[in-house]
Structure formats: structure tokens, C-alpha cells
Structure 1
Amino acid sequence: MTSKKGIGPSADEPLRAENPHAQIATKLRALYLSVQEEAIPDRFLDLLEKLDAVERKSLPDVAE
């Protein structure tokens, strides 16, 4: 059974191991969690710090 648009399982369809949508969702969640746990490389952090510095220099001074 599919939803009204014909894509994905409907709300009342159980997510089973043989359901390809459930398999894809499970694998995507696992991939997302593994990427989320990875450390950010120092090179990337350095680039972000440089970008922040350039943005701070380009902003007009605001009186506080």
C-alpha cells in the first residue's frame, strides 16, 4: 500500500524489513549518525575561523 501520492509507505503500513522504504530509511539513519559522530577536521575549523575574521572586518562597527 502506498500513500496518496504513490511514493513511500502510507501511515498505516507497518515498516517491515522487506519494505524497501524501511530499508533505505534505516541505512540513511545509520549513515547520518556515523557522519554526525565524526570529528570536524582541523583544516576545516581553520577555514571557518578565517571566514569569521573576514566577516567581522567587513561588518560596520556598531555602537553598543
Structure 2
Amino acid sequence: MVADRKQPTSDPGAPRRAPEWADGLKQLYDSVVEEELPDSFKDLLARLDEVDPKRGPVQASDPAQSPDGRGGRP
């Protein structure tokens, strides 16, 4: 019931402090955002930039057309 809930003892107009785990989560997020891209990912992006848009989409069934050379699913 609503009447059973404990009322806050602090000023209801005061700003709430984030829980302790929130600071750690924000630090983890910030560290991931600031990481440099791995060279393999940069290479993949460069290869994708080289694809001729006039050729159309890559056909997954043709291994020669697949960006990684492995082809599509069997």
C-alpha cells in the first residue's frame, strides 16, 4: 500500500545523487568511447569505402564478392 511506503527524510526539492555504481558505469563508457579504432577495423572501413556504388550490393552467395572472401551462409 502507498501508506506503508517510507517517506524520504531529505528535502524533496534537493537534487538526487546518482548511485555509486553509476559513476563507475559512466567511467567505463567514457573509456570505451575514447578508445582508438583497431587497425583491422580501420582497414575494413577503408575497403568498404573503395566499393564502387555503381556495382550495387554485394551478393552473399558469391565468395569473390564478399568483403571477407568467405562468402555467404551455406
The TM-score with structure 1 as length reference comes to: 0.50
**What is the match of residue 4 of structure 1?**
none
- Residue 53 to residue 26, structure 1, CA distance change in 2 (3 Å): same
How far did 1:58 drift?
1.9
Report the RMSD for the aligned CA atoms in angstroms. 2.6
Structure 2 residue corresponding to 1:50, chosen from 47, 50, 66: 47
User: Does 1:27 pair with 2:45?
Assistant: no
Residue type at the aligned position of 1:25: A
The structure 1 segments of at least 4 consecutive aligned residues displaced by more than 3 Å after TM superposition are none
Q: Which has the higher helix share?
A: 1
Q: What stretches of structure 2 of length at least 5 have no aligned partner? A: 1-12, 56-74
**Highest Rg: 1 or 2?**
2
C-alpha displacement of 1:31: 0.5
3-state SS in 2 of match to 1:52: helix
Q: Displacement of 1:23 after TM fit?
A: 2.3
Structure 1: gaps of 5 or more residues: 1-11, 17-21
CA distance in 2, matches of 1:58, 1:37: 31
Q: Structure 2 length normalisation: TM-score?
A: 0.45
Distance 2:23 2:54 in 1: 44
Identity of aligned pairs, percent? 40
